[in-house]
């Protein structure tokens, strides 16, 4: 384990490839079924991706190429990078028919020396055909990962934040991906309305028992103009401080299986793009605080797994 206390993503990548491999985030032009151009009125109540999404209308290859070529040339020039991971990050990247998905994934992968494909999506955008398509990319040691937004295992919370899917729907998608050897990262948000530390740890313990390949922990942040921002203005919400968030993460890490990769410990959206909580300690400080908390209590990843 990195720092000997928990498994970080950078260490995992160095061990896996023997060198630094760089992620190239790309917006594939997908939308989300929980947005106004899908089936919902406003999406998740914290969602700052405003309005309906227009697709690239046949221009997807050009737009994707521009993003990837720009990122690759920057990474090569700045770091001498040679190997990359293609990361479809924006919105729900399996929200289309398989033919379109295949065309977009293939095109993106053809543009560089990619070692992995990562696709971020929602549980209700996963079905067998999409899983089989994703599985088809697992060849020659080429890893395929799906990042599944969950945020909480508590159905009341999921309803409260208008996620548009239940914990049970998440489990169906998770098990389908697992059956087909696709690596899974589960996203959590700590500090959601109505949740205290025991609710947060209940979710972490449930997911830990599924042995996910990776997890991402986020602190709640709220962009201006969202439904949740209105709740905040009405005085209905409070937020964990940076220190409290670090404690939540340290607690969560102890309940994870030792082999799960901790891919993120806090939200990395720039402060300029969200209104609340405003000031929040940066990633390096949060990371060091988590290490300090674990060291002080002689804790480490997996110590409380299954308890
Ligand atoms: S799933 Fe993501 S893109 Fe869709 S509404 Fe929720 S936060 Fe927004």
pLDDT in tens, 112-126: 999 999 999 999 999
Question: Is the shortest distance between the CB of 149 and ligand 1 below 6 Å?
Answer: yes
Q: Which residue has the tokens 């040691």?
A: 141
Beta-bridged to residue 116, according to DSSP, are: 85, 143
Atom of ligand 1 nearest to the CA of 46: 7
Supply the residue whose CA is at minimum distance from atom 3 of ligand 1: 91
Two structure tokens written together for 133: 């398509």
From the CB of 112, is ligand 1 less than 6 Å away? no
User: Is residue 48's pLDDT more than 90?
Assistant: no
Average pLDDT of the segment spanning 77-106? 95
Distance from Cα 233 to the centre of ligand 1, integer Å: 21
Euclidean distance between CA atoms 66 and 59, whole angstroms: 11
Residue 41 has pLDDT above 80, yes or no: no
Mean pLDDT score, 218-234: 89
CA–CA dist 63, 56 (Å, integer): 8
Which is the closest atom of ligand 1 to the Cα of 163? 6
Residue 57 has pLDDT above 50, yes or no: no
Higher pLDDT, 59 or 63: 63
Beta bridge partners of 117: 86, 144
Contacts of 68 (CB under 8 A, 6+ apart): 24, 26, 86, 108, 111, 112
CA of 49 to the centre of ligand 1 (A): 7
Cα(149)–Cα(123) distance, integer angstroms: 7
Q: Where are the beta strands (DSSP E) in 194-286?
A: 214-219, 261-264
In angstroms, what is the span from residue 296 Cα to ligand 1's centroid?
37
Q: Is the CB of 35 under 6 A from ligand 1?
A: yes
Distance between CA 53 and CA 86 in Å, rounded? 22
Q: With left for phi above 0 and alpha for psi between -120 and 50, is residue 281 left, alpha or beta?
A: beta
What share of the chain in percent tops pLDDT 70?
A: 91
Residue entry with tokens 């991906």: 177
150's enclosing H/E stretch is strand 143-151
- For residue 86, give the H/E element and its range: strand 84-88
When pLDDT is averaged across residues 153-162 and rounded to a whole number, the result is 97
Cβ–ligand 1 distance for 122 under 6 Å, the answer: yes
The predicted model scores a pTM of 0.94
For 59, the token pair is 């221009």
Cα–ligand 1 centroid distance for 47 (angstroms): 6
Mutation choice for ligand 1 from 123, 148, 149, CB with most ligand atoms inside 8 A: 149
Gyration radius (Cα) of the chain, Å: 19
Q: Supply the residue whose CA is at minimum distance from atom 8 of ligand 1.
A: 47
All domains in the chain, ordered by first residue: 2-296 (3.20.20.70)
How many angstroms separate the most distant Cα atoms in the chain?
Answer: 56
Residues 107, 228: Cα–Cα separation, whole Å: 37
Ligand 1 pocket test: which of 31, 40, 47, 165 has the largest number of ligand atoms within 8 Å of its C-beta? 47
Least-confidence region, from 37-41, 167-171, 191-195: 37-41
Task: Say yes or no: CB of residue 91 within 6 Å of ligand 1.
Answer: yes
Please give the Cα distance from 21 to 23 (Å, whole number): 7
Reduced to 3 states, what is the DSSP secondary structure of residue 24?
Answer: strand
For ligand 1, whether the C-beta of 125 sits within 6 Å is no
For residues 112 and 82, is the Cβ–Cβ distance under 8 A?
no
CA of 299 to the centre of ligand 1 (A): 34
Average pLDDT across the chain, whole number: 91
Atom of ligand 1 nearest to the CA of 149: 1
Listed residue (229, 261, 251, 266) closest to 307, CA to CA:
251
């Amino acid at each position: 384990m990195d720092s000997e206390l928990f498994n970080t993503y950078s260490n995992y990548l160095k061990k896996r490839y023997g060198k630094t491999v760089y992620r190239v985030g790309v917006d594939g032009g997908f939308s989300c079924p929980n947005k106004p151009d899908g089936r919902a009125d406003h999406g998740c109540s914290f969602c700052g991706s405003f309005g309906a999404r227009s697709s690239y209308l046949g221009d997807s290859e050009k737009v994707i190429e521009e993003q990837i070529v720009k990122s690759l040339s920057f990474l090569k020039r700045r770091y001498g990078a040679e190997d990359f991971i293609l990361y479809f990050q924006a919105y729900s990247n399996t929200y289309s028919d398989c033919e379109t998905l295949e065309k977009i994934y293939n095109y993106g992968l053809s543009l560089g020396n990619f070692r992995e494909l990562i696709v971020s999506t929602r549980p209700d955008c996963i079905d067998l055909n999409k899983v089989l398509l994703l599985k088809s990319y697992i060849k020659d040691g080429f890893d395929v990962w799906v990042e599944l937004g969950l945020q909480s295992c508590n159905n009341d919370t999921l309803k409260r934040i208008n996620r548009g899917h239940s914990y049970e729907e998440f489990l169906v998608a998770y098990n389908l991906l697992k059956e087909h050897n696709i690596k899974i990262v589960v996203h959590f948000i700590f500090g959601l309305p109505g949740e205290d530390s025991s609710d947060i740890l209940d979710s972490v313990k449930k997911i830990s028992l599924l042995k996910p390949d990776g997890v991402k922990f986020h602190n709640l942040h709220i962009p201006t103009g969202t439904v949740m921002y209105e709740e905040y203005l009405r005085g209905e919400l409070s937020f964990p401080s940076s220190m409290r968030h670090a404690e939540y993460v340290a607690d969560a890490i102890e309940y994870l299986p030792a082999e799960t990769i901790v891919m993120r410990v806090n939200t990395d959206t720039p402060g300029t793009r969200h209104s609340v909580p405003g000031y929040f300690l940066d990633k390096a400080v949060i990371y060091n605080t988590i290490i300090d908390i674990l060291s002080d209590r002689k804790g480490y990843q997996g110590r409380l797994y299954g308890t």
